[in-house]
Amino acid sequence: MLEGSILQLLEAAHQGGETGKRHLNFGVYYKNTLVSLCHALEDCVLSEDSPPLMLTAFQRGKWYLEEADRYGQIADHTRQVVIMAAADAGFNEHPTSQRSQVTVVELTPEDPVAQEWHLMILSPSYTAMVLCQELSLADYGDQPPESDLQRKFYGLWTFETELVQEAIDLTIAHIGAYNPDLQVQLQAHVQTIQAEAQQADPLHFYSVVSRVVDYLQANQQTLQPVQTAQQLDRNLLSNEVQAFLRVAQLIDLMDPDNPQATTEVTALVEMICQLLDLPAWQAKRLRLASILHRLAPFQGTPQKIIAPSVSSQAAPHSRLACALVPGVQALRQMPKLRAIAQIIAHQTEWWNGNGEPAGLVGDEIPLESRILGLVIDFQQRVNGLAIPKTINDGQVDEWQDQLELALVQCQQWAGDRWDPKLVEMLTIIVNGLQQGLTLPLQSPRLTNGLWLLDS
């Protein structure tokens, strides 16, 4: 990693527990994957109601000329676009560079940022970032790239607002060494956007993710039958999965009342899988569904779930028909995630057949959906989202009491809302937790999610 680069500075800021910042996970991306990611995120700007700030840098300045016309169109929908490029890139001669919203910062040859590929978007409604460096010849070892498609980059991409903001601050500071006036101007843009910031809407991110997946899948269709086609295809597929994983992570981050929902649900689900001795492929599929379960809004607890209406009861149900929920429908874009979409869609079925979306009864409900629905409900109850926390002598009940209370309420719905056998499994787990069993919490590594599909 190049000393003094934006990627290196960001990584350094997250090293060591004393900073209070979590360690960053980086991945390796082929060039065609980065092109698809950047095009998808850039084109999202065209549909933005509030114009964002965009900061960009390519690993090689000449690549800007291939994007110059696109950037001219995108610039009309932004507050400002800053393009960091090598002095010999030729971008200053292109008409796009003359637009009032576009500023070109010519980087010196020794500047490590001249060897990076960045895209940062900051708007009042969402953030996105791609932050990468190309592998050095030493990193390639005995297999240097033989073609442009084989070039590999190291870094990350994310929708996480705090991380994007941190990288933008580092970038603006770097720009200040070249143009102090521009630095002040960009800082003013950031302050204005922060003042206009809105509560992030998951529906908006579903549309962004859908666009990312579409672009990555379109790139897969263009791959030629070359020696590296399989690796390129898997890299694209990995990032399609990452798109969903990152949005699921973002939903947790946006929920201050229950930020550990995904990790706790996943841990509980895995414990049930072990008790049931499920085959590895099924446990792996259920783990991925657990990680992605917040993409579809949970319909509430038994007290809040409304029984199907007369019209829906009268209509014939198709077996395992997925609900028209944006998060679920987005998952169905990927053939390899359709089974996951089915699990998540049917988590709100009732054991007695009064649930939705298909009114399935008993064992007609997929086992994975039954497990996931029960665990989600239990986790929400324990965290006080589905039930109020009880107070004794002015003190909130201890965690063990919350476990017991949440379990009792789930047991009351056994045979009605929940599969009785699964409630028995949950009872065994809760008894273990009350006796000192530790819940194995482990956040998923977003850059390493493809193994979840390899079953």
| pLDDT at residue 26 in the model | 85
Over 50: is that where the pLDDT of 106 sits? yes
158-183 b/e (C-beta count within 10 Å ≥ 16 → b): bbbbebbbbbbebbbebbeeeeeebb
- Mean pLDDT for 364-386 is 88
- Mean pLDDT for 357-372 is 93
- Mean pLDDT for 246-250 is 75
**261-453: in CATH 1.10.3210:** yes
**6-253: in CATH 3.30.870.10:** yes
| pLDDT at residue 236 in the model | 63
- Mean pLDDT for 146-152 is 76
Q: What percent of the chain has pLDDT over 70?
A: 76
| pLDDT at residue 351 in the model | 95
| pLDDT at residue 203 in the model | 63
- Mean pLDDT for 146-175 is 88
| pLDDT at residue 9 in the model | 92
- Mean pLDDT for 313-338 is 58
For residue range 396-439, list pLDDT tens digits in order: 445 567 888 889 999 999 999 999 999 999 999 988 887 777 77
Over 80: is that where the pLDDT of 260 sits? yes
Over 50: is that where the pLDDT of 391 sits? no
For residue range 61-70, list pLDDT tens digits in order: 555 566 778 8
| pLDDT at residue 307 in the model | 32
Over 70: is that where the pLDDT of 343 sits? yes
| pLDDT at residue 269 in the model | 93
Task: Label each residue of the chain as H, E or C.
Answer: CCCCCHHHHHHHHCCCHHHCCCCCCCEEEEHHHHHHHHHHHHHHHHHCCCCCEEEEECCCCCHHHHHHHHHHHHHCCCCEEEEEEEHHHCHHHCHHHHCCCEEEEEECCCCHHHHEEEEEEECCCCEEEEEEEECCHHHHCCCCCCCHHHCEEEEEEECCHHHHHHHHHHHHHHHHCCCHHHHHHHHHHHHHHHHCCCCCCHHHHHHHHHHHHHHHHHHHHCCCCCCCHHHHHHHHHHHHHHHHHHHHHHHHHCCCCCCCHHHHHHHHHHHHHHHHCCCHHHHHHHHHHHHHHHHCCCCCCCCCCCCCCHHHHHCCCCCCCCCCCHHHHHHCCCHHHHHHHHHHHHHHCCCCCCCCCCCCCHHHCCHHHHHHHHHHHHHHHHCCCCCCCCEECCEECCHHHHHHHHHHHHHHCECCCECHHHHHHHHHHHHHHHCCCCCCCCCCCHHHCHHHHCC
Give the residue, 186 or 303, on which the prediction is more confident: 186
| pLDDT at residue 321 in the model | 47
The strand pair at 127-134 and 391-392 is best described as unpaired
Over 60: is that where the pLDDT of 301 sits? no
Give the residue, 296 or 185, on which the prediction is more confident: 185
Residue 276's pLDDT band (boundaries 50, 70, 90)?
A: very high
Give the residue, 302 or 342, on which the prediction is more confident: 342
List the domain boundaries for the chain: 6-253, 261-453
The strand pair at 152-158 and 127-134 is best described as antiparallel
Residue 232's pLDDT band (boundaries 50, 70, 90)?
A: low
| pLDDT at residue 271 in the model | 92
Whole-model pTM? 0.70
Q: What percent of the chain has pLDDT over 90?
A: 29
- Mean pLDDT for 329-338 is 74
Over 80: is that where the pLDDT of 277 sits? yes
- Mean pLDDT for 201-207 is 66
Over 60: is that where the pLDDT of 228 sits? no
- Mean pLDDT for 157-168 is 90
| pLDDT at residue 318 in the model | 44
Over 50: is that where the pLDDT of 300 sits? no
- Mean pLDDT for 22-26 is 80
